[in-house]
Amino acid sequence: MGGGGIYFGGDRPLAAHKPSILKIDVFMDDRLGLSSADRRRLRPCVAFAIEHIVRSFKPFCSHPADKLRAAICYLEAREPRLAA
């Protein structure tokens, strides 16, 4: 497992179900304890990660692992609760 519980290893044992990816919303996950102010503060960080690190709006799992890792590390550095 990598940052934030995301798998960075080799072959995935099972392919992710595409509809379930659309339902993932870490901002609204109560277990993180993010307030609405925290979510507003993180939105520009997520936009930066998408535009400048990942450089694509394709589905999350279709990006190269090194770009995903860099984007996740960037976001976790701005909000350590995401690394939990």
Distance CA 45, CA 79 (A): 10
Q: Is residue 43 a part of any domain in this protein?
A: yes
Q: Is residue 79 a part of any domain in this protein?
A: yes
Distance CA 73, CA 69 (A): 6
pTM across the whole model: 0.65
- Cα-based torsion angle of the residue sequence 2, 74, 48, 7 in order, rounded to the nearest 10 degrees: 0
Q: Is residue 8 a part of any domain in this protein?
A: no
State the pLDDT at residue 37: 92
Distance CA 45, CA 61 (A): 19
Q: Is residue 3 a part of any domain in this protein?
A: no
Q: Is residue 13 a part of any domain in this protein?
A: no
Q: Is residue 12 a part of any domain in this protein?
A: no
Q: Is residue 59 a part of any domain in this protein?
A: yes
pLDDT tens, residue order, the chain (84 aa): 444 555 555 555 555 555 444 455 666 778 888 898 998 898 899 889 888 998 887 877 788 889 989 998 999 999 988 887
Instruction: Find the domain containing 56 and state its range.
Output: 19-83
Q: Is residue 1 a part of any domain in this protein?
A: no
Q: How many domains does the chain have?
A: 1
